[in-house]
Structure 1
Amino acid sequence: MSHVHPPRKILLVATTGGFTHAAPVLELGRVLADRGHYIEFATLDSQESWIQPDYGFIAKVHLLGPGPTAEQLDAHYRRMQAWDVRKGIEPTLVSKAMFDTFWPQTYRGLNRIMNDPVTRPDMIIADFFAEAANDILVEYRLPIAIVCPNWPPLQLPCSYIPGQPGFQLPGTLTSENASMWLRLKNELVILFGLPAIMRLFKQTRAMRREHGVFYPLHKPKKPDYLLFVNSFVGLEIPRDLPPSCAPVGPLLCPTWAPLDTECDAFLNSHDSVLYIALGTHIILPHEDVIRIMNGAIHLMEEGLIDGVIWAIPKTGRADIDGSETVQMKINSKEDEMSLNNLLANKHRNWLFHFFAPQRAILAHDSTKLYFTHGGGSSANEALYHGKPMLSMGIFFDQTANTTRLVAGGVAESLDKFHFTSDEIYTKARKILESGENWSYARNVLRLQRIAHVAARRKFYAADLVEEVIYDHELRFDKDGRELRPMHLQTADSRMAVWKVNNWDLYAVSAVGLVAVLGSMGVAGRYLWSSREPLRSFLIHGWSALDIAA
């Protein structure tokens, strides 16, 4: 595709968030590459494989240093799996502190890229985990775009949405239908977490100062940079946004891995399949595996499903006791099989996969229900391919997504601490027995159609990137002096709070009102004190005038 302006160099950055966070950034890079721009990618060691095979447009990869160890990630995911937001946010801040330890190498690596005229980009598009991109904006005045899976925490305040995104209590959407007690509890989540927040703040400040950075992390409530949300209104709750922020998801690859031989044969030989995938990094407790399995067996015994595909990576199987046996009665035939044999795919109605081709499974007509953890990518993919869900949020945005999916009429929720086999059966049956004219099918189709339209907003995101590049290049003089503010930034971002809220006008109006009322009061008191002379004048004075006339 020809481009009316010279191509620019754009650096994509994804570090500690994993591939699910890198993929949306890479998708934006794909659109910009199609427009003729030169795209490079910066990431941590061993993650350069992320660009293959779908992102061959990446011209160069910059490695920033080693990433988290397997032990660090294992501790993080186990900590998050045990986290209950209702009991505080401290566990999430422990993980945040761990991920922050990779800021120095990202910061140094991006500085190296910026200081070399050959590698210096015209703009950075970064996953929100790569907070060093915000420092590049401050130090080099380079335009940036940050990609978040949901509305970012502690930014874009909204009075009618209680709490903070990512830290909201289960069941919270907006203040419209929330009780005062729930709204209050959502605000107290952050208040009660202040001691842990302050500890993290001190650690972060000390780390930044150790590397010569003495200003706070640049995260204004209304960003002076582009902020993209990899979701869409329909799944996300509508809110007022400044022009620099936009929901542009679902940012999905236009192609996906096809079904492998096992999945293809399984789906083509079954008519009603339950697909289970609770995340690449979730380590399922043995008791939870048994509960999920018994719920699925009950559905199978009732003829509501005839097969299960369950994606559990090797790490996710660490706590499973393979020697335990499960009993099944399918078509009046009793089956008993050990978990080891089931996991080895020795039962015709069960297929366990280490890394399933998820989108191809979701796109298949035989897949009738998706049991998910409600992660941003999984929710986007399920809605795009039109599948109803059982959603059991494990941590962070997954619990909030679960609430949104239920509110959207496309899912039933499960609590990771309290779910039972009977609950899985009852809620899955509720979805599977609903006819085409019932609410689940209707809402799934509704959101699928919206998701297909919203998926085209990645082109709008690329438009905004180009807008910001062109605006930025011509609003600074040759000495680097800023001639005018960012064209997408609203004026209130640069104004004093009293002026933004018109407090000065209210004050002047109040003073004027007091002056008018005071004057009226003084006049009234004068007239009252002079009432007798005035009365006499009015009576006798007018009488005298009548006589004279």
Structure 2
Amino acid sequence: MDSKTHPPRKILLVATTGGFTHAAPVLEIGRVLAERGHTIEFATLDGQENWIKGVEYGFVTETHLLGTGPTADQLDVHYRRMQAWDVRKGIEPSFISKCMFDSYWPQTYHGLKKIVAASRPSFIVADFFVDAANDMLVEYRIPIAIPGFQLPGTMTSEDASMQLRIKNELVVLCDLPAIIRMFTFTRKMRSQNGVNFPVHKPKKPDYLLFVNSFVGLEIPRDLPPTCAAVGPLLSPTWPPLDTEYETFMNSHKSVLYIALGTHIILPHQDITKIIIGVLRLMEEDLLDGVIWAIPETGRKDVTGNETFHIKTTDEKSGVSLADMLANKHPDWLFPFFAPQRAILDHDSTKIYFTHGGGSSANEALFHGKPILSMGIFFDQISNTTRLVAGGVAESLDKFIFSSDEIYAKIKKILVCREGESYKRNVLRLQRIAHIASRRKEYAADLVEEMIYDHELRFDKDGKELRPMHLQTADSRMSAFKANNWDMYAVCGLGLAAIVGSIGLGGNHLWRNRDSLIHQVISVISGGLRYVDAALGR
């Protein structure tokens, strides 16, 4: 880096209530910026500083703690609420959870203010849960970038019926009371902390908005220069398989990997349905091994006294769920945590059963695995729709799925009787994902552009000399001018005046037609008499 034209700057990364899956894209952008010589600091909630311990994130020079986050009980209530949420019946439950997460805005806001006062960063890259980053943009004019999981909207209306499109628009109206309550809560909370302006989220952002996805999984659409799809934002390295996993993967040739999220607490009956469906696939030798990562919290509702009859060589033997969870069956592994990317990268893994989270979707496609997706909440539901539309997945409804459906859909993917469409589409999107994963460099380019443009478009007194270089002109214009409505109005008025004048004139002529005809005849007669006189007739 040329220190004269591209001087290194201090960049603050912020991730709070979204969990590590939200922090990871932020850290990946920070990694590239660190490689370019910039100083990287990280701000997060108490207890989450362990995310950056170790060699992988050694580029972080300082960590700032912003205060406590949601309690285990709050998170448990949130995840159970979201698991019971049926998006088809409205979106009110999601607002309840959003208010819970937003209630931690004050400490993030005041914490960032202290950091800025002590040592002002040149730029902030923050998870999209961190509304306080937008406040730093407004109050201190610190440019920001917000990495998010996907573009607004699940799909386009290209293939949607009129009825579905109308229903989709009515969702907001139906949940308007909940939306009003959420905005009232937010406004009151901000006012109590001395912030009397709303959250800064213009229609066309005057900050960078990064999408942790790629076109192919995302539907192509027009975007402003400040918005870019730069995903999949994935670490270039991942923990390898240890001896236990290596032995398991090498001794099985068709493995199903199941990971339904760190916080998902499946009911016992759902776990039973999944096992029964998978056992049918194993009996037909379509699968010969299963790795199912279930953290300790995810086992709260599981009872271990159920017995399953599992095929071993030429006969079936009874195995209790408790023994399976204790890894006492050679074809089943139930770890609390699994080296996910190493498992997905292994040739023996044939299919990935996931909740469809943004990171999981990116990792599955990057490592080239077909997917059975059961979205539980938030972006998982829309990601599932995208994966199915991309031809790489089958979906399950969390409320009504059955063992037979699991068996049929996994078999459909594994057997690939439809012209091997799953294999072709997985390979297609894998190749695209590998190319798209380089765009983290482009994300870093945009951050640097924003830094240097921002620093030199203000004078020493803080007066803005020129607009942001990535801002489109229509953002600074009224809607009437930007859409040429004013010009159309003037032209319309001019045309109306012309048409009106013609109409009035015509009406006048018509009403006085007898007199006008008489006058015309008189003029013609006079003319003829003049001609006769001139000719001496």
- Alignment TM-score > 0.5, same fold: yes
Q: 1:59 aligns to what SS in structure 2?
A: strand
> Which segment drifts farther, 394-403 or 477-486?
477-486
Q: In the alignment, residue 525 of structure 2 is paired with which amino acid?
A: H
Q: Which residue of 2 aligns with 1:120?
A: 120
> Which segment drifts farther, 417-426 or 496-505?
496-505
Whether 1:523 aligns to 2:505 is yes
Give me the whole-angstrom Cα distance separating, in 2, the residues matched to 1:86 and 1:126: 31
Q: 1:337 aligns to what SS in structure 2?
A: strand
Q: Which residue of 2 aligns with 1:34?
A: 35
Q: In the alignment, residue 137 of structure 2 is paired with which amino acid?
A: L
Q: Which residue of 2 aligns with 1:157?
A: none
Q: 2:258 aligns to what SS in structure 1?
A: strand
Q: Which residue of 2 aligns with 1:68?
A: 70
Q: 2:91 aligns with which of 89, 92, 95?
A: 89
Give me the whole-angstrom Cα distance separating, in 1, the residues matched to 2:519 and 2:309: 106
> Is the Cα contact below 8 Å between 1:436 and 1:442 reproduced in 2?
no
Give me the whole-angstrom Cα distance separating, in 2, the residues matched to 1:521 and 1:17: 66
> Is the Cα contact below 8 Å between 1:126 and 1:145 reproduced in 2?
yes
Q: 1:451 aligns to what SS in structure 2?
A: helix
Q: 1:456 aligns to what SS in structure 2?
A: helix
Q: 1:310 aligns with which of 265, 285, 292?
A: 292
Shift of 1:136: 0.4
Give me the whole-angstrom Cα distance separating, in 2, the residues matched to 1:226 and 1:487: 12
Give me the whole-angstrom Cα distance separating, in 1, the residues matched to 2:331 and 2:522: 109
Shift of 1:538: 7.0
Q: In the alignment, residue 40 of structure 1 is paired with which amino acid?
A: E
Q: In the alignment, residue 501 of structure 1 is paired with which amino acid?
A: N
Q: Which residue of 2 aligns with 1:406?
A: 388
Q: Which residue of 2 aligns with 1:106?
A: 108
Q: Which residue of 1 aligns with 2:442?
A: 460
Whether 1:225 aligns to 2:207 is yes
> Is the Cα contact below 8 Å between 1:301 and 1:331 reproduced in 2?
no
> Is the Cα contact below 8 Å between 1:2 and 1:36 reproduced in 2?
no
> Is the Cα contact below 8 Å between 1:17 and 1:129 reproduced in 2?
yes
Q: 1:238 aligns to what SS in structure 2?
A: coil
Q: In the alignment, residue 19 of structure 2 is paired with which amino acid?
A: G
Q: Equivalent residues in 2 for 1:506-517 (5 A)?
A: 506-517=488-499
Cα deviation, 1:453-474, whole Å, max 9, x if unaligned, reads: 1111110000000000001001
Q: 1:313 to 1:518 in 2, by over 3 A?
A: same
Q: In the alignment, residue 302 of structure 1 is paired with which amino acid?
A: E
Q: Which residue of 2 aligns with 1:470?
A: 452
Shift of 1:256: 0.4
Q: Which residue of 1 aligns with 2:251?
A: 269
Cα deviation, 1:122-168, whole Å, max 9, x if unaligned, reads: 0100001111000000000110111111125xxxxxxxxxxxx3xxx
Q: In the alignment, residue 123 of structure 2 is paired with which amino acid?
A: M
Cα deviation, 1:299-357, whole Å, max 9, x if unaligned, reads: 11111111111111111111111111111235431121101100111111111111100
Give me the whole-angstrom Cα distance separating, in 2, the residues matched to 1:413 and 1:7: 46
Give me the whole-angstrom Cα distance separating, in 2, the residues matched to 1:296 and 1:23: 32
> Which segment drifts farther, 139-148 or 237-246?
237-246
Give me the whole-angstrom Cα distance separating, in 2, the residues matched to 1:537 and 1:293: 106
Give me the whole-angstrom Cα distance separating, in 1, the residues matched to 2:78 and 2:197: 28
> Which segment drifts farther, 244-253 or 497-506?
497-506
Give me the whole-angstrom Cα distance separating, in 2, the residues matched to 1:546 and 1:274: 109
Give me the whole-angstrom Cα distance separating, in 2, the residues matched to 1:534 and 1:381: 90
Percent identity between matched residues is 70
Shift of 1:410: 0.2
Give me the whole-angstrom Cα distance separating, in 2, the residues matched to 1:62 and 1:206: 27
Unpaired segments of 5 or more residues in structure 2? none
Give me the whole-angstrom Cα distance separating, in 2, the residues matched to 1:287 and 1:309: 19
Whether 1:17 aligns to 2:18 is yes
Q: 1:62 aligns to what SS in structure 2?
A: strand
Q: Which residue of 2 aligns with 1:211?
A: 193
Q: 2:334 aligns to what SS in structure 1?
A: strand
Cα deviation, 1:284-312, whole Å, max 9, x if unaligned, reads: 11011001111110111111111111111
Q: In the alignment, residue 57 of structure 2 is paired with which amino acid?
A: Y
Give me the whole-angstrom Cα distance separating, in 2, the residues matched to 1:219 and 1:279: 30
Shift of 1:49: 0.8
Q: 1:538 to 1:96 in 2, by over 3 A?
A: same
Cα deviation, 1:428-449, whole Å, max 9, x if unaligned, reads: 1111001695211111111111
Q: 1:43 to 1:139 in 2, by over 3 A?
A: same
Whether 1:175 aligns to 2:153 is no
Q: Which residue of 1 aligns with 2:425?
A: 443
Unpaired segments of 5 or more residues in structure 1? 153-164, 166-171
Cα deviation, 1:7-38, whole Å, max 9, x if unaligned, reads: 10000000000000000000000000000000
Q: Which residue of 2 aligns with 1:420?
A: 402
Give me the whole-angstrom Cα distance separating, in 1, the residues matched to 2:410 and 2:358: 21
Give me the whole-angstrom Cα distance separating, in 1, the residues matched to 2:351 and 2:382: 20
Q: In the alignment, residue 241 of structure 1 is paired with which amino acid?
A: L
Shift of 1:386: 0.6
Give me the whole-angstrom Cα distance separating, in 1, the residues matched to 2:31 and 2:183: 36
User: For the pair shown, which has the larger CA radius of gyration, 1 or 2?
Assistant: 2
CA-based RMSD: 1.5
> Is the Cα contact below 8 Å between 1:2 and 1:35 reproduced in 2?
no
> Which segment drifts farther, 80-89 or 7-16?
80-89
Give me the whole-angstrom Cα distance separating, in 1, the residues matched to 2:6 and 2:522: 87
Q: Which residue of 1 aligns with 2:414?
A: 432
Q: 1:439 to 1:517 in 2, by over 3 A?
A: same
